[in-house]
Structure 1
Amino acid sequence: MTTPRPEVSPGDSAAVPPPGCPAHGMSPEGVRRLYGAEAEANPRGLYEQLRQQYGAVAPVMLQGDHPAWLVLGHRENLEVMRTPSLYSRDSRRWTQFEQGRVAADSPLHPMLGWQPLCVFADGDEHARLRGAVTDSLGQFNRQGVRRYVTRYTKQLVDGFAATGQADLIRDYAEQLPMLVMTQLLGMPEENGPRLVEATLDLMKGTETALASNEVVTQTLRNLVKRKSERPGRDLASRLIGHGSNLTEEEVVEHLRLILVAANETTVNLIANTLRLLLTDRRFRASLSGGQMTLPDALEQVLWDAPPLSVIPGRWATGDTVLAGHQIKSGDMLLLGLAAGNVDPAIRPDLSDPVHGNRAHLSFSSGPHECPGQDIGRAIADTGIDTLLTLLPGLELAISPAELETQAAWLSERVYSLPVRFSTKPSSGAGHSGALAGSPKSQPLPATAPVPVPVAEPASVSTERLPWWRRLLVRR
């Protein structure tokens, strides 16, 4: 029997009581925190406990005991994502901000503090800012992106290949996306390692998150200043010169958004996919035997272990009801992507494969759907494909039971993947037969050249492939 769902409002002026008093008008046991050792030890278990107690929407606490609603249902997440008239992206609406309850040094500020960004805008202003981002990202040739991925994958593997062992998280997954993104943004290569540490720390919401945010922001300010004087064929220059006439601050903040979001999500996608390939023999056998493509593997991971578990947030524009709960104007809602992807209402049997099904929530939906998802898929797909080619005999160096996960309120992924492999040189052919050679660094072309056709197995439906592979098949 389902526990009755109390009607509570985390946005109520009395929702954040003095220490020791009930929160949300309920007993302390009734409101769970999305931070701290207990929540981070088993976030998926926490989501299911909340689902059992409250249903598709549950009251929770964030760092500093700030109240919010966590949306757990797949349908309810889509409702919030696709109804900006009821659920705004403007964080200035949050009751906690309006009433001055969020401390100046709160780790929530880098992610929730309002900025001149498309993700914090609605309506015409959102269309103006997002148009600049989508147009600028759309000018990149994905084949050029793949060349960068192949180059940096080989560079990273060269750093540890002779030892016959590595940690694929520390030595590879946490490094590759940032190296590629610095090239797309037009940065010097030496910025990569420093930005890797800063962006990873920023997304964890640690005590040093504000300092890490400043490192990233100042690096981008310097970049925008250089590109304003000497533009190139890169994302920074394209945003600066876009017809939407972005201010310098808007350019810096959108570059920060792209850099941080792309890095975090792609690191997690690579890490979680590699974990699946190394721990599930049947899954890897299906990939090696051709019964499943690597894009299929990525989509399965996007369902079962999305790069972001939670997206903050949406703010209610007025009093409303969601899944039987009274949501008050100014309440914050967190999009529970991981929870929504395993909602029993749409996936009663989680063992059923979802190959080729892109109805997951991992890249959001509605007007704020991730505009760079195809670039993220291309980095992960090409990077893993090349890695498996370069490291023959790749296998986990410890038992799967010994693997540890690293969880924060926004994401969850495997902490370390120690592996061993043969030190013999590889044949040079890609794992899927589509990659070869080691391209030198070169500017990305402004428009895509006619691609060379690449044969795909006749049994693979083109609808199950990323757009760039479907293009190759059609050509």
Structure 2
Amino acid sequence: MPPPGCPAHGTASSLRRLPEITEPAQTYEELRQQYGAVAPVLLHGDIPAWIVLGYRENLEVMRTPSLYSRDSRRWNAFLENRVPADSPLIPMVGWQPLCAFTDGEEHARLRRAVVDGLAQFNRRGMRRYVTHYTRQLVSGFAQSGSADLVRDYAEPLPMLVVSRLLGMTPEKGPLLVEPTLDLIRGSDTAAASNAVVTRVLEDLVAYKKTAPGYDLASRLISHESGLTDTEVVEHLRLVLVAAHQGTVNLIAHTLRLMLTDRRFRGNLSGGYMTLPDALEQVMWDNPSIGVIPGRWATGDHVLAGQHVKAGDLLLLCIAAANVDPEQRPDLSVPMHGNRAHLALSSGPHECPGGDIGRAIAATGIEELMALLPDIRLAVADGEIGITADWMTSRPSTLPVEFRPLSPLDVPQSPRRAPTSAQPLPAAIEPGAAPSASASTRRRRWRALLAR
């Protein structure tokens, strides 16, 4: 007999262990071939779960909260005390007073506060932040003529921007880069990293209650939904982790695409593919968060031929769903202008900050290429490794070379980066590209990428 909670058609010894996966795409396809659109897997501590691989099946789970709840307290592994307190799963699936772990009216109350808080940041203000910090980061390595665009650029930039949007002072952002990356990896230190991030946010909320500004923390504190201090802290953590991790991966994958894929370099330089098109292609082929935990079954039912029991955990495998052969029989066909990917989820829990991440990535890449127009990869494409864990994957490094610049060659921001007291009144327009005109962007990309 299988152990308690283990899917009935597999024993613990025969199932794939997600923490041990080093080739996610290959593993997902093998699972699809073996089990179909829904497959049994094991998590940390050999705790069983279902991974949803099919595009239609993912949409069904995302859009049917009556069958698939976000309340992790339903998980049979929790109810049976099979998840230790220091499990690396806890930061991601341990119940918290968050919109991501609620349904119905309570979800609507909490989500409304987050959506309203994010709506205060406009495109122009975002560009000021991103441009300022891009120039600051490039100044740090410009004289050397070389850099690792993952470590030196993709990882720090989103944190510098997002931490300021939350209301932190400039020195806090760099300190949170590694803890935020670590807590989502599912490593042995994930719980400790989560505690570090939470303490910083608790201090921020305590400060903003006495000195409010024009930032997300202040807006959540004052919002008419009446969030408690704990709810404010947890939602700030949710935004910080999701926006940072997701945007790091989006920037890293898009830069690799531009530097290595001649097909896309040709399209971009020829004007057939804009930067937003390239970002959208990456969101199809390499979604920032490949696996989302999760949903919990509210009752016994059958999904894609698998008998799911009440309390079972379902993992949404966005990476597999976006390349489902039923949805994309030919992966070589570009997905220009097609936003039907699941990179931002769907249904009532669709990511409310997707346009902010896209705006940071688009502006940051555009500004980087303008500062370093002769940038080129310093190694062969085949030498670029992939850093993968059970939820995400991205290029390990992107070593590049370019003509060394003096400090005077890197333009200074026309004004210092916006402070939390400076209003950014209009909401980001969904799907909006940076504020340059389409023809200007296209000419700039032709010039930069043709070199």
Same fold, judged at TM 0.5 (above) = yes
Which amino acid is the alignment partner of residue 175 of structure 1? Answer: P
| Alignment counterpart, residue 395 of structure 1, candidates 376, 380, 388 | 376
**CA shift for structure 1 position 459:** 12
Aligned counterparts of 1:303 and 1:349: Cα–Cα separation in 2:
13
**CA shift for structure 1 position 13:** 6.7
2:4 counterpart of 1:14: yes
Is the CA contact 1:107–1:205 (under 8 Å) kept in the aligned structure 2? yes
**CA shift for structure 1 position 428:** 9.1
Cα deviation digits, residues 361-406 of structure 1 (max 9, x gap): 1000000000000000000000000001111211110001111100
Cα deviation digits, residues 115-166 of structure 1 (max 9, x gap): 0000000000000000000011011122101110010000000000011000
| Alignment counterpart, residue 445 of structure 1, candidates 423, 426, 429 | 423
| Alignment counterpart, residue 457 of structure 1, candidates 439, 442, 446 | 439
Question: What corresponds to 2:116 in structure 1?
Answer: 135
2:297 counterpart of 1:321: no
Is the CA contact 2:145–2:405 (under 8 Å) kept in the aligned structure 1? no
Question: What corresponds to 1:177 in structure 2?
Answer: 158
Is the CA contact 2:12–2:46 (under 8 Å) kept in the aligned structure 1? no
When structure 1 is superposed on structure 2, of 234-243 and 441-450 the one drifting more is 441-450
Q: TM-score, normalised by structure 1?
A: 0.88
Distance 1:47 1:73, change over 3 A: same
Question: What corresponds to 2:248 in structure 1?
Answer: 267
Which amino acid is the alignment partner of residue 399 of structure 1? Answer: A
Q: Helix, strand or coil: the match of 2:439?
A: coil
2:311 counterpart of 1:330: yes
Matched pairs, number: 436
Aligned counterparts of 1:233 and 1:125: Cα–Cα separation in 2:
26
Distance 1:383 1:438, change over 3 A: farther
Which amino acid is the alignment partner of residue 81 of structure 2? Answer: G
Alignment of 1:309-458 (within 5 A): 309-424=290-405, 438-443=414-419, 444-448=422-426, 454-457=436-439
Aligned counterparts of 1:103 and 1:405: Cα–Cα separation in 2:
30
List gaps (5 residues or longer) in structure 1. 1-7, 17-22, 431-435, 461-475
Cα deviation digits, residues 28-82 of structure 1 (max 9, x gap): 564111112xx12x11100000000010000000011110000000000000000
Aligned counterparts of 1:123 and 1:294: Cα–Cα separation in 2:
37
Alignment of 1:41-440 (within 5 A): 42-424=23-405, 438-440=414-416
Q: Helix, strand or coil: the match of 2:295?
A: strand
Is the CA contact 1:308–1:411 (under 8 Å) kept in the aligned structure 2? yes
Q: Helix, strand or coil: the match of 1:207?
A: coil
Is the CA contact 1:24–1:31 (under 8 Å) kept in the aligned structure 2? no
Cα deviation digits, residues 62-118 of structure 1 (max 9, x gap): 011110000000000000000000000000000000111101110000000000000
Aligned counterparts of 2:360 and 2:259: Cα–Cα separation in 1:
19
Is the CA contact 1:390–1:425 (under 8 Å) kept in the aligned structure 2? no
Distance 1:118 1:453, change over 3 A: closer
Aligned counterparts of 2:410 and 2:329: Cα–Cα separation in 1:
40
Is the CA contact 2:124–2:435 (under 8 Å) kept in the aligned structure 1? no
Aligned counterparts of 1:450 and 1:32: Cα–Cα separation in 2:
41
Is the CA contact 1:274–1:384 (under 8 Å) kept in the aligned structure 2? yes
Aligned counterparts of 1:449 and 1:309: Cα–Cα separation in 2:
28
**CA shift for structure 1 position 288:** 2.7
Cα deviation digits, residues 391-436 of structure 1 (max 9, x gap): 1211110001111100000001111000001125799999xxxxx9
Q: Helix, strand or coil: the match of 1:64?
A: helix
Aligned counterparts of 2:438 and 2:252: Cα–Cα separation in 1:
26
Aligned counterparts of 2:426 and 2:344: Cα–Cα separation in 1:
25
When structure 1 is superposed on structure 2, of 365-374 and 188-197 the one drifting more is 188-197
**CA shift for structure 1 position 282:** 2.3
Q: Which runs of 4+ in 1 moved over 4 A?
A: 424-430, 449-454
Distance 1:232 1:27, change over 3 A: closer
Which amino acid is the alignment partner of residue 441 of structure 1? Answer: A
Is the CA contact 2:142–2:407 (under 8 Å) kept in the aligned structure 1? no
Aligned counterparts of 1:327 and 1:27: Cα–Cα separation in 2:
16
Aligned counterparts of 1:230 and 1:459: Cα–Cα separation in 2:
40
Is the CA contact 1:392–1:426 (under 8 Å) kept in the aligned structure 2? no
Which amino acid is the alignment partner of residue 35 of structure 1? Answer: P
| Alignment counterpart, residue 15 of structure 2, candidates 31, 36, 40 | 31
Which amino acid is the alignment partner of residue 85 of structure 1? Answer: S
When structure 1 is superposed on structure 2, of 279-288 and 307-316 the one drifting more is 279-288
Is the CA contact 2:143–2:406 (under 8 Å) kept in the aligned structure 1? no
Distance 1:449 1:407, change over 3 A: closer
Root-mean-square deviation (CA), in Å? 2.4
Distance 1:88 1:453, change over 3 A: closer
Q: Which has the higher contact order (CA 8 A, sep 6+)?
A: 2
Distance 1:390 1:233, change over 3 A: same
Percent of counterpart pairs with the same letter? 61
Q: Helix, strand or coil: the match of 1:301?
A: helix
Q: TM-score, normalised by structure 2?
A: 0.92
Q: Helix, strand or coil: the match of 1:130?
A: helix
Aligned counterparts of 1:169 and 1:160: Cα–Cα separation in 2:
13
Distance 1:146 1:50, change over 3 A: same
Distance 1:193 1:455, change over 3 A: closer
Distance 1:379 1:200, change over 3 A: same
